[in-house]
Structure 1
C-alpha cells in the first residue's frame, strides 16, 4: 500500500488549518485545566479535552478558508493557499469541516453535560467568525473571543461549572489574539479597503491600528498581573510574565507591513514562544514552587 498520497494529503490539510497555531490556545487551556483540577486532571478529561479543542479549531480554520476562498484568490499575499491553487478541492474541505465538527461534539459529550449542551453554541460562534470582516472592524476581537473559548471550555471540561478565573484567562487570550491579528492585518490595508472588507487597520489606518494593538497587549499583561495577585502565584510566574512582556515589546518593535517574513515573526512566531513561556512558568509555579 502506497501511503505517500495519504501523507501528502494529511500534510496539506495540516497546512490548510495552520495546525502549528494550536500553540496559541492550547497552553492557556492547559493552565485552565490544571488550575481547575488543582493539579493534573484525569487522563479522560485531558484526552477528550484536547480532542475537542483540536476538532473545533481545525473545523473552524478550514471553514474560514472556504468562506474566504474568493478573496484569497484575489489577494497576492494569499493566492498561493491550498484552495486558490486547487491543491485541495472544495468538496473535500467541506467534508473535513463536518468531520472535525462532529469530533468536537462527540469529544464534548464525553466530558460532561455542560460541555455537551454548549458544543452546538461553540460551533455556531466559531463558524460566524468567518463572515465578521464583511460587516465590522471588530472582527479581530471576535476572533480573540472565539479562541478564548479554549481556556473557558477547558475549565468547564474539568469542573462542569462556571467560575471567575477562566473568564479572566479567556479575556487575556482574546486581547492577545486580537492584538497580533491587528498587526497581521496591517499587510492587507489596501486590499481590504478595495474589496469592502472591514478591519481595524483598514478602518482606522496603520498608525492608529498599531496603537490599538499595543493597548490590547498592555491590558492583557495587566490582567495576567492581576491573576498573580488573585491566585497568589509565585516569582516564577512573574518571570514568565516579564519574558512575555519583553517579547511583546520586541513584536511591536519589528513591525514592517511590507516585509512578509518579518510580519510572520511578529504576528506568529514570537507569540508561539510567548504562550509556551507563560505555560511553562505557570506550571513550574504550580507544581514546584507554590
Structure 2
C-alpha cells in the first residue's frame, strides 16, 4: 500500500545486506530511500572517505601539527555519506533501464517500482544539499575544489556505455577526497595530494574490477562495459600492476609530505592485504568477489592507522 510519501516497500534489494537495520528498524515508507542511498552498505562511503583521511593526515604533518582536525574528520564522514548516497541515487536514475535487465539489480527501488524517478530526483537534491552544507564549512579554495568534482561524478554513470574503462572514471570521482583532505588544512595543493589522488585512482580501478566480476555475464548480455570484461582471465596480472602502482604512488606521497617510518609500516601492511586479495580472488565466484571488494575497508584502516601512529609517535 502506498503511504503518505508515495513509496511502497516491496521487499529488500537482492544484493543488499539481509536483515539490516534498514529493513528491521526504519519505517516502511523510508526503506526505499535508504536503499537508494545504500545506507545498509557502508562500504561505499568508507571507500569515498579514505582518501580524505589519508590526505588530511599527511597535511597535518606537512603543516607542523601533531593532531588531525577532528571536526574535519566528522565533516568528511558526513560529506562522504551524503554524497555517496546522492551518487548512488543519481546512478540508479541513469541506469534504471539497465538495472531492470540485470538479475542482481532489478529489485532496486526504481526498477522495482518502490520509488518513482521524480521521487528519486527529489531525494537526490536533498542529499546534495546536505553535501553542500558540509562543503561550505571549509575554506574557499576547498569549496571550489570540492564543487569541481561534480563534473566527473555526473559523467561516471554514462561511461559504462562508451568505454571499457568506467572504473577509471569511478576512480577519478572517488579519489577526489585526496585533494580535498589536503586543501582543507593547507588552503592549496602540492605534489603529495596529487600522488595520493593518482594512487587512489589505481586502487579504485582494482577493487571495482573485482566488484564488476559479479555482473560480467549480465553485463555482456545488456552491453555494459567494464574492466572486468576487458581484463578477463588476466585480471590478477592487472591487479598486480594496479595495486603495485598505487602502493608506489602512496609511498612517494608519504615521502614528499615528510611522513615518518611508521606510516610506511602501515603502507606495507596494506600492501600485504592487497596481495592477499589477489591470491584469494576467484573471478568466477561472485560471493568471493564481493567479500574481497568489501575487505578494502580494512585496507583503508591499515593505511590510516599507520598515518595516525606516525603523527602521535
Report the TM-score range of the alignment, normalised by the length of the smaller protein: 0.7 to 0.9
Alpha-carbon distance in structure 1 between the residues aligned to 2:270 and 2:146 = 32
Check if 1:280 corresponds to 2:305: yes
Check if 1:73 corresponds to 2:100: yes
Q: Please, what is the CA RMSD of the aligned residues?
A: 2.5
Give 1 or 2: higher helix fraction.
1
Unpaired runs of 5+ residues, structure 2, are 1-24
Alpha-carbon distance in structure 2 between the residues aligned to 1:109 and 1:160 = 14
Displacement of 1:34: 2.9
Check if 1:36 corresponds to 2:36: no
Q: For structure 1, which segment, 75-84 or 172-181, has the greater mean C-alpha deviation from structure 2 after superposition?
A: 75-84
Alpha-carbon distance in structure 1 between the residues aligned to 2:251 and 2:177 = 20
Displacement of 1:238: 2.6
Alpha-carbon distance in structure 2 between the residues aligned to 1:178 and 1:194 = 22
Alpha-carbon distance in structure 1 between the residues aligned to 2:83 and 2:100 = 25
Displacement of 1:16: 6.1
* Pair 1:213–1:129, CA change in 2 (3 A): same
Match of 2:292 in 1: 266
Alpha-carbon distance in structure 1 between the residues aligned to 2:281 and 2:77 = 33
Match of 1:139 in 2: 166
Check if 1:242 corresponds to 2:265: no
Unpaired runs of 5+ residues, structure 1, are none
* Pair 1:69–1:7, CA change in 2 (3 A): closer
CA displacement, residues 97-156 of structure 1 (integer Å, 9 cap, x when unaligned): 111222223322231222333444222221211111111112111111111111211222
Q: For structure 1, which segment, 53-62 or 158-167, has the greater mean C-alpha deviation from structure 2 after superposition?
A: 53-62
Match of 1:122 in 2: 149
1:1-290 correspondence runs (5 A): 4-5=27-28, 8=31, 11-15=34-38, 18-37=41-60, 38-42=65-69, 45-202=72-229, 204-268=230-294, 270-288=295-313
| TM-score normalised over the length of structure 2 | 0.81
